[in-house]
Amino acid sequence: MTETTPRRVTSADVARVAGVSRATVSYVMNATPSQTISPGTRTRVLDAAARLGYAPSAAARALRTGRSDVVLCLLPDWPIGPEVGALLGNLSKALARAGLTFVAHPGNREDRPIAEIWKAITPAAVLAFTDFSDDEIDAMRSAGVALVVALLGRSRQRRGELEVPQHLVGRLQAGRLAGRGHTRLGYAFPDDDRVRFFADPRLAGVRAACADLGLAAPAVETVALDPVAAAAAVRRWRAGGVTGVCAYNDEVALAVLAGLRSAGLSAPAGLAVIGVDDIAVARLADPPLTTVTTDQVAVAAHLAATVLAAITGAPPPPSPMTDLVQVVARDSG
């Protein structure tokens, strides 16, 4: 029994079987517009490729073109929940339709310089949740990597793709509470510095809504995911006349609910509470949690379009970021 090492199928194999040159195979496989191929040849090549199970070497292609068809997403170092997970899934799906392979790299940039990451992948584009240093940006640009920043970072006036909706989330929360008669609002800020990138624009949205509606600025309390800490915040809010609280997300909102409970109170009478994300357990809370959801599919589609535009050098699509967020009304607020 001779061990036949199963060699990789290359374009040369296809060319041989189809009785054409490798160049022709390439033209057929890529449907190169500048090159006309007779239908007969085309069919023969396609047939041969299919029969042999030919798949072009991504490495060779990347080497030649200087760019792979991979889109690399640098994940933030804060815990990613099901919402982000869903976003990534949708993004992957949307980019796959454009022939791009989406992959995510977890782990903060301290563990490993991001340069090592993208140099190991040679991605067509890099999508990040937080900002890059200018040096990093220059390095990537000069390597021909398109860059999209999802969330606004600290530097300069670059605008992040996801910043606007975060702002809207806050506005919607405040609007809901104001619409139900609350005039003095509180904001439950997360006890984790790593999520400031998300929390800050949300809080800003609440602030803006309050200003627009002629309400006092929200009373901000940092709320840890702990009943005792939350109870203290609840006490302070109530002492200050606050009747409705916008929480950074559902987890923080659930903490507020727990705080109310341990203070012998309940929502919405003791304090109206509204979260963000509509996580699965939100409807299991007591009372079920009112929350704000984002249309992840639409966001993913927009992000995908932005990435695509960045790759092709086309102008980024306009943000159709309205109607992307909506309230899921339940009993807590």
Partner DNA sequence: CTGTTAGCGCGTTCAC
Partner DNA sequence: GTGAACGCGCTAACAG
Residue numbers of the site for its own copies (CB under 8 A)?
A: 6, 8, 53, 55, 57-60, 62-63, 66, 68-70, 72, 77, 79-82, 84-86, 88-89, 91-93, 96, 101-107, 111-112, 115-117, 119-122, 139, 142-143, 225-227, 251, 254-255, 257-258, 261, 280-281, 283-286, 288
Number of residues that bind DNA (CB under 7 A): 33
Part in contact with DNA (CB under 7 A); list of ranges 51-59, 85-93, 237-245, 271-279:
51-59
What is the closest distance, in whole angstroms, from the C-beta atom of residue 282 to its own copies in the complex? 9
Name all contacts of 279-284 with Cβ < 8 Å and 24+ positions apart.
Answer: 279/81, 279/82, 279/83, 279/249, 279/250, 279/251, 280/82, 281/250, 281/254, 282/250, 282/253, 282/254, 282/328, 282/330, 283/330
Query: What does the buried/exposed string (b/e) look like for 209-229 if buried means 16 or more CB atoms within 10 Å of the residue's CB?
Result: bbeeeebeebbbbebeeebeb
212 or 226, CB closer to its own copies? 226
Regarding 5 and contact with DNA (CB under 7 A), the answer is no
Short-list 169, 163, 148, 30, CA closest to 91: 148
How far apart (Å, rounded) are the C-alpha atoms in residues 124 and 321?
25
Q: What are the beta bridge partners of residue 294?
A: 325
Partner interacting with residue 119 (select from DNA, its own copies, none; CB below 5-8 Å by kind): its own copies
Cis bond before residue 106 (omega within 30° of 0): no
127 or 210, CB closer to its own copies? 127
* Span 53-82, contacts to DNA by CB under 7 A: 54, 56-57, 60-61, 63-66
DSSP per-residue letters across 284-327:
GSSSPPEEEEE-HHHHHHHHHHHHHHHHHTPPPPP---TTSEEE
Number of CB atoms found within 10 A of residue 261's CB: 17
15 or 185, CB closer to DNA? 15
Three state DSSP letters for 50-80:
HHHCCCCCHHHHHHHHCCCCEEEEECCCCCC
69 or 200, CB closer to its own copies? 69
Regarding 317 and contact with DNA (CB under 7 A), the answer is no
DSSP annotation of 8: P
4 or 322, CB closer to DNA? 4
Binding flags for DNA, 236-255, as an x/- string (CB under 7 A): --------------------
Cα atoms in the 13 Å half-sphere on the side-chain side of 161 = 22
DSSP annotation of 189: E
Cis bond before residue 287 (omega within 30° of 0): yes
101 or 319, CB closer to its own copies? 101
How far apart (Å, rounded) are the C-alpha atoms in residues 284 and 163?
30
Regarding 34 and contact with DNA (CB under 7 A), the answer is yes
What is the closest distance, in whole angstroms, from the C-beta atom of residue 69 to DNA in the complex? 10
Partner interacting with residue 11 (select from its own copies, DNA, none; CB below 5-8 Å by kind): DNA
Part in contact with DNA (CB under 7 A); list of ranges 15-23, 133-141, 217-225, 253-261:
15-23
How far apart (Å, rounded) are the C-alpha atoms in residues 239 and 280?
32
What is the closest distance, in whole angstroms, from the C-beta atom of residue 91 to its own copies in the complex? 8
What is the closest distance, in whole angstroms, from the C-beta atom of residue 22 to DNA in the complex? 5
* Span 185-214, contacts to DNA by CB under 7 A: none
Regarding 24 and contact with DNA (CB under 7 A), the answer is yes
Instruction: Give the tokens for residue 62.
Output: 């990347």
Residues that bind DNA (CB under 7 A): 8, 10-12, 19-27, 29-30, 32, 34-38, 40-42, 54, 56-57, 60-61, 63-66
